[in-house]
Amino acid sequence: MSGIPVADEPEPELAKPIDFAALKRDGIPAIRWIAQPYLVDQELNLWIGDGFTAKSMLALDTAIGLASGTTILFGSPVARPYRVLFMDEDGGLAQTSRRVLQLAKGRGMWDDEGMWANLSVFTQAGFSLGSVKSIKNLEEHLDFYKPEVLILDALRAFHGYDENQSDAMAHLMRKVIRPLIAKHGLASIIMLHHTAKDTPGMRGKSATAASRGSTEIRNAPDITLHLVRIRDVPTVSMEKARNLSESDRPGPMSFRIKDLAGPDDGIVVEIVEDKDRLTKLGMAKAEIMAIFLANPSAEHTHATLEPMLAGAKSGKYSKATAFSALRAMVGVELFSRVAGGGRGKNTVLYRLL
């Protein structure tokens, strides 16, 4: 059989370069947000996290927010309702279904038929991207359910390759997963991925340092979120976003999965404010500042401050910690002077700058 194209075969379509003349005339296209600033239309997303950072719970809550067209990830508004396909190869039927129902109830969407119609969840269904046959099976499901957002939990469960092999991961990420967006009309793909197991010194480090496997896993996506536990609180930071400058990226957000009032009232993803996860030094600083702000014209010594610090009195932090906090605030938030030429810490007067 000849390799020369016959006359009735269509000519291959050539790729077209960027039309800068059109861009200059019409202007640079606006970013097409799914949910600003976390999800962009036609982009590949990677969520990397340590164990027990609530990756799956956050992803399920995101799926519900997308399917309902409400909010995701700490209040980011969703452009419109999206059809979501959540493929969970890590969790089991009982665990995943219970989480979805609890999250839906917590969001007040238990009876939202539109949201349920937009959400399809599979658990341990054996989906894979590791062979032509398995890819075909997954793609048949995409063609049937026609999702706009695909969530894979977790990446490692969807292939059998060595994640440390750069060529294999480049093929998987760039030639198998990313093309699903254009081929099946997806708006976004979100992949969950684990950090390296027990890597000395890597806990809490950046995704680039701590992520398991080849750098190709991290290089291919457009947006990368990194989840760690900071003072035992799950915290999300955006480490890469092709369409956002460093200054435009959201800062780290800490959160908790909170049970509502009763056992049947559901659960919610709730932001943890900084004041709720302060170190002992931070607690002391917060209490000291509150005292000065309550009476901005006042001056205090250590002796007058210590009885007013609830944390020092209750044993949450020591008097030495209060002293360290006070000294750290001088020049930034407080001004100090020595009264009457005396010596000792109780002759130093502090006031607001």
Report helix, strand or coil for 58: helix
The answer to whether the predicted template modeling score (pTM) of the entire model surpasses 0.95 is no
Q: What's residue 306's pLDDT?
A: 87
Section 171-198 average pLDDT:
92
Amino acid at 91: G
DSSP at 28: P
Whole-number mean pLDDT of the chain? 87
**Helix axes 280-294 and 319-329, enclosed angle (nearest 10):** 60
**End-to-end distance of the chain based on CA atoms, in angstroms?**
86
User: pLDDT tens, 56-115?
Assistant: 999 999 999 999 999 999 999 999 999 999 999 988 999 999 999 999 999 999 999 999
Q: Which two tokens stand for residue 202?
A: 């890597």
Q: Which is more confident, 229 or 148?
A: 148
Model confidence pLDDT, tens digit, residues 273-311: 765 555 677 778 888 888 888 888 888 888 888 889 988
DSSP annotation of 252 reads: P
Q: Higher confidence at residue 322 or residue 57?
A: 57
Provide the 8-state DSSP code for 211.
B
Count CB neighbours of 236 within 10 A: 23
pLDDT band at 344 (very low <50, low <70, confident <90, very high): low
List residues bridging with 269 in a β-sheet. Answer: 257
Domains of the chain: 20-274 (3.40.50.300), 278-352 (1.10.10)
Q: Is the dihedral of CA 276, 278, 282, 284 positive or negative?
A: positive
User: How far apart are alpha carbons 99 and 266 in whole angstroms?
Assistant: 9
Cα 213 to the center of its chain, rounded Å? 20
Which of these, 336, 348, 350, 337, lies nearest to 292 by C-alpha position? 350
Residue 348's contacts (CB-CB under 8 Å, 6 or more residues apart) are 301, 302, 336, 337, 338, 339
pLDDT higher than 70, residue 157: yes
Better-predicted residue by pLDDT, 328 or 92: 92
